[in-house]
Structure 1
Amino acid sequence: MKFNATDGEPSLNISLDPEISDAGPTAQPSGQRRRDRHGRGLRGPLLPAALPGSRTRSEKFEDLVVDSAERLRTLWPEALGGVDYLVEEVPDQLEARIASGKPAPFGKFTRAVPATPDAPAEPALIAIYRHPVEVLCDTDGQLRELVHEAVVEQVAGLLNLDPEMVDPLFRRFRGH
């Protein structure tokens, strides 16, 4: 857009295109917030990290798995010393399992693989699936019990023992 002044004054250029303007755009660097009133910036997190309310559901679930694993390691220090624990969201091929009428598994285990000249050793691994376990629980107490039962069942499968032998308190509070 061009505006011509009268009375012999030089013409004035007004542009709506930011690259042509004389002053140039006053763009903010990416990563900054657009709205920062009075230069105060962010005031801080809603909850400090030390408070339990700041933990996500997946972090709380991981804590429950770690607590169960530590309890079982105190009962079976030699057998479970080299076992790794993992939390996964859902099992592989979950849709196919549900479509075939099979229930969703709570976890899986893989036995340790000794080192070979071609491949390094792999430790035993126990994986617990978060979503199938959480779906069945209404309260935090139920979730804690079901996570512990899932870990105990996977450890029992890994050690070829009955779950009651792995943990004497297995299903004691459920009445099964």
Structure 2
Amino acid sequence: MEFNARHSEQSFTVTLDPQDSGNDQPVSGQGRPFLRRRRDRHGRGLRGALVPAQLPASRTRSEEFEDLVVDSADRLRSLWPDALATVEYLVEEVPDQLEALIASGAQAPLGKYTRGIPAAGDTPAEPTVIAIYRHPVEVLCDTPGQVRELVHEVMVEQVAGLLNVDPGTVDPLFRRFRGQ
């Protein structure tokens, strides 16, 4: 495409074709170099992460979910320091036997707890474990704030089952901010 403007003795030419510069000299290379190309090709948005993977700000979804579990576990440990001192927390992707649960029509569990077994003789002790299932929790939520709330609710319910107390006793703020 070419635009010519002639005003008295001066002329001005603008070309948008990289091969056709006004001097008939070929442009070296085809278009922009690879590193200078736009990332929003064809109007479909950015194609990759904005932060390179080697920087600390780059976190995967599973790492962000693990951070939520750690935050919730820290809050519960501050409320119940003696009872939760030896509890280990796990993040698992999906529960065992998920296909059988789906086939039976049951809802997938969001978490589970396993009581530890004390050491006896030559057998080592098994710790008490609370596991949270990442995919079932994320499927139920639409926003990151909902994921944070649901992770904490699941953690509170698992600790309540482990300690055999009411979830409202485990965390006084349990479900206080949820919309009714």
Q: Is 1:46 matched up with 2:52? A: yes
Equivalent residue, structure 2, for 1:147? 151
Counterpart residue type for residue 56 of structure 2: A
Q: Residues 122-164 of structure 1: CA distance to partner in whole angstroms, max 9, x if unpaired?
A: 1110000000000011111000000000111111111001111
Aligned residues: 130
1:67 to 64, 71, 74: 71
RMSD after superposition: 1.3
Equivalent residue, structure 2, for 1:109? 113
TM-score w.r.t. structure 2 length? 0.69
2:83 to 79, 82, 86: 79
Counterpart residue type for residue 56 of structure 1: T
1:123 to 114, 122, 127: 127
CA distance in 1, matches of 2:124, 2:56: 39
CA distance in 2, matches of 1:130, 1:75: 24
1:156 to 138, 156, 160: 160
1:88 to 88, 92, 97: 92
Return the offset for 1:48. Answer: 4.8
- Between the two proteins, what is the percent identity of the paired residues? 74
CA distance in 2, matches of 1:88, 1:46: 26
Q: Is 1:174 matched up with 2:178? A: yes
2:169 to 165, 169, 173: 165
| Higher share of residues assigned strand | 2
Partner-residue secondary structure (3-state), 2:150: helix
Greater CA drift, 165-174 or 65-74: 165-174
Equivalent residue, structure 1, for 2:20? none
Return the offset for 1:101. Answer: 1.3
Equivalent residue, structure 2, for 1:55? 59
User: Any stretches of 5+ residues in structure 2 without a counterpart?
Assistant: 1-50
Counterpart residue type for residue 101 of structure 2: R
Q: Is 1:98 matched up with 2:102? A: yes
User: Any stretches of 5+ residues in structure 1 without a counterpart?
Assistant: 1-44
Counterpart residue type for residue 168 of structure 1: P
TM-score w.r.t. structure 1 length? 0.71
CA distance in 1, matches of 2:71, 2:149: 11
Return the offset for 1:47. Answer: 5.1
